[in-house]
Structure 1
Amino acid sequence: MVQGITQRLWHCDRNPVALAGVTLLALVLAHSPAAQALDDGDLKRLIETGECSGCDLEGADLRRLDLSGANLSGANLSGANFFYAILDGANFSGADLTSANLSYVRALTLISDSTGEIIEFPAQFVGANLEGALLNYANFSGAEMMEANFYEAYIHKTQFVGSQLQDSNFDLTFVHDIELTGANLCGSTYWGGNDYRRACNTPVTDLEE
């Protein structure tokens, strides 16, 4: 889907500065204690190819990176920091995102017309474990998040417009002021194990506690 990842660091004015993959890798490894403990080969592979299924990136510092279209399915990303990262069309299905920081993340549908045909690749978090994760001012509109685990996650000012959240777990999740217009919550559980059965037939507009 992608031929490498465009690497970017955003300054406070949020103007992107493109860096070569090797240069960025050196910066990450030099300035992030968490990243220094990673499998350097996995991090290098992610940066250079966008393919890192099953990689061990626990505690990775991935702030402000453009990871559009990356394949991180089944990866260990517990404690990873995705602050302001772009995850459009990325695949996190089955990934461990326990206690990950997903604040200000954008994970929308990636639209490709490289073959002359419009193809949509929704961001995928099917069966992902987001237990204790921080989702603050993030946008997961249109994402496929069926059977995702949000147990004890903190979700604030985040958008799930048109997202697929069937059979997901929101038990003991802190949820405040999130947008769920057109989202599918059929079979999801929330707040003490209650089953969101009514969402099977009626789209919800908001969910707040």
Structure 2
Amino acid sequence: MRIVIAALAVLALASPAAAQNAGQVGRAVSGSSCPGCNLFQADFNGLERSGLDFSRARLRQADLSLTILNGARFSNADLRDIEAYGGVFASASFAGADLTNASLVGTHLRGANFAGATLTGANLSGADLGGARGLTQTQLDRACGDATTALPAGLHIPPC
């Protein structure tokens, strides 16, 4: 009996992460809000909508490149390893979101809320964070950028 329990425990640990929910992904990429959804590795490339709600959603490894999602809510969302090259997220909320290792190269984040967000390993090269709210030096010290990264006054970012 112990061997069976041990084998089941090993299988549970070796199982892949929960895959995306195809129905939820379809709804979200068509432009609907999807709070709490499993959008793992979803392709949102080029989506243009305002005010969508992705709070608490799992968007890990999603492609948000060239999206325009002004005013979107990503509060407490899993945005680890996303690709958001050239995206526009003006006044979006990333409060409490996990943006670990996110690629935010060339993104427009003017006026976005980053209160409590994790930016460890995030690449903000060329990003416009002018007027960003809740952004701290401690968060930026864990991220990287370049000379073209626009930040609120008094903040700086280490080079990538």
CA apart distance, 1:204: 2.2
Amino acid at match of 2:62: A
Question: Who is 2:146 aligned against?
Answer: 176
| Counterpart mapping for 1:66-105 below 5 A | 66-105=48-87
- 5+ long unaligned stretches in structure 2: 1-18
Distance 1:171 1:142 in 2: 20
CA contact (8 A) 1:74 1:94 kept: yes
Residue among 137, 142, 154 paired with 1:204: 154
| Counterpart mapping for 1:121-200 below 5 A | 122-167=91-136, 169-177=139-147, 178-180=149-151, 183=152
Question: Who is 2:47 aligned against?
Answer: 65
Amino acid at match of 1:45: R
* Greater fraction strand: 1
CA deviation profile, 1:96-134 (whole Å, cap 9, x unmatched): 0000001101011xxxxxxxxxxxxx3111011000000
CA apart distance, 1:155: 1.5
CA apart distance, 1:91: 0.5
CA apart distance, 1:48: 5.0
- 5+ long unaligned stretches in structure 1: 1-36, 109-121, 184-202
SS at match of 2:124: strand
Structure of higher RCO (CA pairs closer than 8 Å, 6+ residues apart): 2
State TM-score, norm by structure 1.
Answer: 0.61
Amino acid at match of 1:175: G
Deviation >4 Å, runs of 4+: none
CA deviation profile, 1:66-104 (whole Å, cap 9, x unmatched): 132110000000000011001101000100000000110
CA apart distance, 1:208: 4.7
CA apart distance, 1:174: 2.1
Distance 1:91 1:172 in 2: 23
State TM-score, norm by structure 2.
Answer: 0.79
